[in-house]
Chains A and B, each alone.
Chain A
């Protein structure tokens, strides 16, 4: 490691020395209409066959020998912009790009676009095309980013109506979900029917499945990086929508023109209003609030504050209350030390909590749990030359886990007060990476992340006669730790490497390897995480989970980049994947460590994708063939089993078609092999009960899942001449009304009213399906 760093430093210094006679051009790239910085804009110098992309803050910097250059800025959905100039000294040049006029004829591109898909060293990354998904059918008309992530190649879901997603054989807790850089621990509303992301305020969302850059860490399988809009800094505007289930409104505008802006948005479901009106005592709703203020003092200093708060509330008969929510806050300072050195300093907080309450004189109690995280990050990038772009940084994160507190909520309650101890973790990460262009064909992206994790006091650890005996749980000793005292620390080095070889114009081969380390573990034995799951840090007993992933891909664009095609093959190997013993008791268990089981998991697969990015018809076809297995001591008798989310085939098709300025049509089709399920292979008698015989984990499969959804968007013609712009979206979910399997369970044979029939010993299997054919109407507005 030390040697590697020395070499790297030396290499960098030599670049720096050589770069003295060079000039740097840098700046921000924005949308001309609203001043929003654009993320991932291709910045390309045809003369040098070199380029870069704008970073997550819309900033670019490229260092070149002095001379006269053309620089092409290109971005999906925008007219390419060409900058021409004589670069003799450092230049700061902000760029404004215009959206492509919505024209009916196929777009003719005169300028050479940058084929990001082929050119970028980064592979295994997918961007959710927000403009497109807004034209596509959505469940109850709520445009949902996670539901679209679930359709990307290499990603599967556990079933419709869930917000969990599984990336390249990783479980749902192996995804780091970020909103403006702050982690969201549970992205679901209404138990997963919707995700917490209000599509109206999302600017950009990328899913990294492999070749993950060293600035990201902490989860094994993916990073879902969602960034919200900064707010229009030119004009005030209100956007909103009234859907079948929820209503949303966003207000944005300049505080000081071109310098400072804000955006504030809210979304709330309103089924409860109807329920109340009809005299029901049941209350069920969710809401999201996103707020952001920014101040662009100059190109040198920019400040952002973003906050998100969302919550679900469920109350049944004024007796049973349940709720969960996420709160995040991000403070960001973008600073340019000099023309080449860009920095982002951020302070980020995140809180996830849930509570449960039963109101009753005797059986009443209240249960609460939360997880808090505070981190400080310094991320820097240094544009050494046209051929080298260095990035490095330091992240410090502190976490406090409060797994649960329970207590009486009335004087006469039968319950006593009980608290599980808090757990603390401190996480340091140092990383450095360089993107290096070797020649016209070959580019490298290499780096390393060092993660130093500490599980700390104040706390205690039980020692056991047998630490894996959950029945006996015979404690032999208790180790006590003071505040800040290290209970256990884990140090891991995570190399990340990417190679791109452009062997022909418009075609490239990419390779990547990454190691990821995860020190926060979800305590759940189910397939889909539910909001009342807790997390544990790596600790005295629980080791970090480590994943190694190799991927190879072939990327090719057709018809002047109108079609982007790619195929990737991956192999992922996970050590110490966290699972739990058969029959594990994960609920308020003080001896939870006796239930931990860590073992091996491996996954491999092939992904194919074609993306049509421009023209009247846009869309995507993705197909994934993959397999994921686990082998964990004392789980399934130590035998290898298919992971809960192993789906062999997954096909997704999305298409949007602009018929004319008035009508746009959307279609979405999905097909998945049924997920594995554990069912009985017989039954036995115990008293009046007839339990199933379980012989093997995930030994059966649900029937295959497939569904077609359609939508039509009507934009009235009168919109053109007035400030108020309205839009109707008509959608049909599950067009051919397939009874798509959600799960199968068994029960004693019953009639439709729940009366037991037969001899009382007979059993039957019930298939549960969620959504039949469902039409929806949504009205969106803007003024």
Chain B
């Protein structure tokens, strides 16, 4: 339902932006780099990681600098401590990524606390793992509009999702869509998340935002979010899609987080379910 505001801002934005545009060079103020933490604990093996980096100048290119010498500890609500170590396999793409050693999976109902030490600075956060719904089934069909004018040639099948939304509890969800195992979004700043307060019990055939070609494997992952997790992704989405300084939309601001000490990012604890299907012609 957040999509409504999004559509509205998009419409107004489109009305406004349908004017003319050009790239301009901004003379931006300098700001000291901030520590960025992207932490994730789930109930799915291999999904536990904490990435630590620093923010960069607006006009810089390439990856942001990674922090490789931090101490990362996750403690569960039973008091068990799990140490995360920096890139044990020395994978070049995983600089700044810490994974648990030994590996572990989270459990629904437990609260996890993160403690990151970078030099003398300490950043902490905690989040609770709540259950996530099961998706009953996945189907696909041709989207006629997309077939006429595809964003990517040949990709005009959309997935249809079926689920039962429990009405007696308050849930928040984050969705990730994969095309042949690669994480995909329609627009580069899209985040797919939802608050269930608008949702009815029967979700019968909600369409995916991304499109597939025959023989593509489609996969949908559903993550449960805590209330603060929903707030973070909502704020992040608003920031990424703002129309420029609050003309019609809200004034951009830093997403609220569960991390302390001024760190950017979030420590996300989620239960995960996934479902997949291969599109046939």
Minimum CB–CB distance from B268 to chain A (whole Å) comes to 10
Is the CB–CB distance between A744 and B31 below 8 Å? no
Is the CB–CB distance between B238 and A684 below 8 Å? no
Task: List residues of A (203-257) whose CB comes within 8 Å of B's CBs.
Answer: none
Is the CB–CB distance between A694 and B34 below 8 Å? no
CA distance A430 to B56 in the complex (A): 59
Q: Which B-chain residue is minimally distant from A284 (CB atoms)?
A: B15
Q: Which of B31, B201, B245, B250 contacts A681 (CB 8 A)?
A: B31
- A587-B5, A684-B53, A688-B188 known; A768+B16 contact, CB < 8 A: yes
Interface size range of chain A in the complex: 35 or more
CA distance A406 to B3 in the complex (A): 14
Q: Which residues of A contact B19 (CB under 8 A)?
A: 742, 768-771
Minimum CB–CB distance from B269 to chain A (whole Å) comes to 16
B22 is an interface residue with CB less than 8 A from chain A? yes
Task: List residues of A (752-778) whose CB comes within 8 Å of B's CBs.
Answer: 756, 758-772
**B240-267 CB contact bits vs A (8 Å, 1 = yes)?**
1011111111111111100000001110
CA distance A585 to B19 in the complex (A): 28
Q: Which of B7, B200, B246 contacts A320 (CB 8 A)?
A: B7
- A356-B8, A759-B61 known; A415+B198 contact, CB < 8 A: yes
- A684-B34, A684-B264, A689-B236 known; A767+B248 contact, CB < 8 A: no
Q: Which residues of B contact A161 (CB under 8 A)?
A: 16
Q: Which residues of A contact B24 (CB under 8 A)?
A: 744, 765-767
CA distance A768 to B253 in the complex (A): 21
B23 is an interface residue with CB less than 8 A from chain A? yes
CA distance A649 to B200 in the complex (A): 53
Q: Which residues of B contact A352 (CB under 8 A)?
A: none
Minimum CB–CB distance from A760 to chain B (whole Å) comes to 8
Q: Which residues of B contact A525 (CB under 8 A)?
A: 246, 250-251
B215 is an interface residue with CB less than 8 A from chain A? no
Is the CB–CB distance between B200 and A471 below 8 Å? no
CA distance A744 to B27 in the complex (A): 13
A748 is an interface residue with CB less than 8 A from chain B? yes
A716 is an interface residue with CB less than 8 A from chain B? no
Minimum CB–CB distance from B1 to chain A (whole Å) comes to 7
Q: Which residues of B contact A681 (CB under 8 A)?
A: 28-31, 58
Q: Which B-chain residue is minimally distant from A361 (CB atoms)?
A: B205
Task: List residues of A (393-435) whose CB comes within 8 Å of B's CBs.
Answer: 406, 408, 412-416, 418
Minimum CB–CB distance from B266 to chain A (whole Å) comes to 8
Task: List residues of A (537-568) whose CB comes within 8 Å of B's CBs.
Answer: none
Is the CB–CB distance between A362 and B204 below 8 Å? yes
A467 is an interface residue with CB less than 8 A from chain B? no
- A158-B247, A743-B244, A758-B61 known; A682+B252 contact, CB < 8 A: no
Q: Which residues of B contact A190 (CB under 8 A)?
A: 15
Q: Which residues of B contact A362 (CB under 8 A)?
A: 203-207
B197 is an interface residue with CB less than 8 A from chain A? yes
Q: Which A-chain residue is minimally distant from B197 (CB atoms)?
A: A418
Q: Is chain A's interface secondary structure helix, strand, loop, or mixed overall?
A: loop
B44 is an interface residue with CB less than 8 A from chain A? no
CA distance A362 to B159 in the complex (A): 13
Interface size range of chain B in the complex: 35 or more
Q: Which B-chain residue is minimally distant from A367 (CB atoms)?
A: B4
Q: Which A-chain residue is minimally distant from B15 (CB atoms)?
A: A191
Is the CB–CB distance between B235 and A583 below 8 Å? yes
Q: Count the A-B residue pairs with Cβ separation under 8 angstroms: how many?
A: 256
Minimum CB–CB distance from B22 to chain A (whole Å) comes to 6
CA distance A747 to B189 in the complex (A): 9
Q: Which of A676, A686, A763 contacts B265 (CB 8 A)?
A: A686
Q: Which A-chain residue is minimally distant from B163 (CB atoms)?
A: A414
Task: List residues of B (124-180) whose CB comes within 8 Å of A's CBs.
Answer: 167
Q: Which B-chain residue is minimally distant from A159 (CB atoms)?
A: B247
**A669-686 CB contact bits vs B (8 Å, 1 = yes)?**
000000011111111111
Which one of B72-80, B85-93, B226-234 is at the interface? Answer: B226-234
Is the CB–CB distance between B200 and A768 below 8 Å? no
CA distance A191 to B11 in the complex (A): 10
Task: List residues of A (102-156) whose CB comes within 8 Å of B's CBs.
Answer: none
Is the CB–CB distance between B63 and A761 below 8 Å? yes
Q: Which residues of A contact B55 (CB under 8 A)?
A: 682-684, 693
A660 is an interface residue with CB less than 8 A from chain B? no
Minimum CB–CB distance from B23 to chain A (whole Å) comes to 5
B64 is an interface residue with CB less than 8 A from chain A? yes
Q: Which residues of A contact B60 (CB under 8 A)?
A: 683
CA distance A357 to B201 in the complex (A): 21
Q: Which B-chain residue is minimally distant from A766 (CB atoms)?
A: B21
A322 is an interface residue with CB less than 8 A from chain B? yes
CA distance A316 to B12 in the complex (A): 13
Is the CB–CB distance between A767 and B21 below 8 Å? yes
A697 is an interface residue with CB less than 8 A from chain B? yes
Is the CB–CB distance between A363 and B206 below 8 Å? yes
Task: List residues of A (347-392) whose CB comes within 8 Å of B's CBs.
Answer: 356, 358, 361-363, 365, 367
CA distance A682 to B183 in the complex (A): 26
CA distance A170 to B38 in the complex (A): 41
**A293-318 CB contact bits vs B (8 Å, 1 = yes)?**
00000000000000000000010100
Q: Which residues of A contact B207 (CB under 8 A)?
A: 362-363
Minimum CB–CB distance from A752 to chain B (whole Å) comes to 10
Q: Which of B56, B188, B201 contacts A683 (CB 8 A)?
A: B56
Is the CB–CB distance between A768 and B56 below 8 Å? no
B69 is an interface residue with CB less than 8 A from chain A? no
B25 is an interface residue with CB less than 8 A from chain A? yes
B239 is an interface residue with CB less than 8 A from chain A? yes
- 29 A-B pairs whose Cβ atoms sit less than 8 Å apart in the complex: A190-B15, A191-B248, A314-B11, A362-B205, A362-B207, A412-B205, A413-B200, A414-B206, A416-B199, A416-B200, A526-B250, A527-B245, A588-B198, A678-B252, A679-B244, A681-B58, A682-B31, A684-B264, A685-B63, A686-B236, A688-B188, A691-B236, A693-B34, A739-B20, A743-B244, A764-B23, A766-B22, A768-B21, A769-B19
4 closest A-B pairs (Cβ-Cβ)? A677-B245, A745-B244, A743-B244, A582-B253
> Known contacts A191-B12, A322-B8, A362-B205; can you find 17 more A-B pairs with CB under 8 A?
A191-B15, A356-B4, A406-B1, A414-B200, A415-B198, A415-B199, A416-B200, A583-B253, A584-B250, A678-B246, A679-B244, A684-B54, A689-B189, A743-B243, A756-B188, A768-B19, A772-B20
